[in-house]
Amino acid sequence: MNLVEKLESRNGAMKVSELCELLGVDDKHIYRMAARGSLPRFRVGGSVRFDPQEVANWLRAKYASTEVPSKKLPMALRQTSVENRRLA
């Protein structure tokens, strides 16, 4: 089961500690990302909580954005990439 599937199988809000364990990062990292708004979260009183479905969607978007844009590819690979798109 991959990380997104694990998140989607969860019910209820997740605590910071649960998300830390799942993502393999420390709580300070999660709090910083939540404070910046780069990680979807909500508050219950003074506590930060995470909707597992929203975090799964966030991860999917992150996976999609890790594709290397053609501008960052070496020239030889850019040529191949353009030729492959023409053939498709």
Phi, psi of 78 (to 5 degrees): -65, -45
Residue 42's pLDDT is 96
What is the model's pLDDT at position 63? 83
CATH class of 3-87: mainly alpha
pLDDT of residue 40: 96
Instruction: With 0.75 as the threshold, say if the pTM is over it.
Output: no
> According to the model, what pLDDT value does residue 87 have?
46
Dihedral over alpha carbons 55, 20, 50, 63 (to 10 degrees): -10
Report residues of the chain scoring pLDDT below 70.
67-88
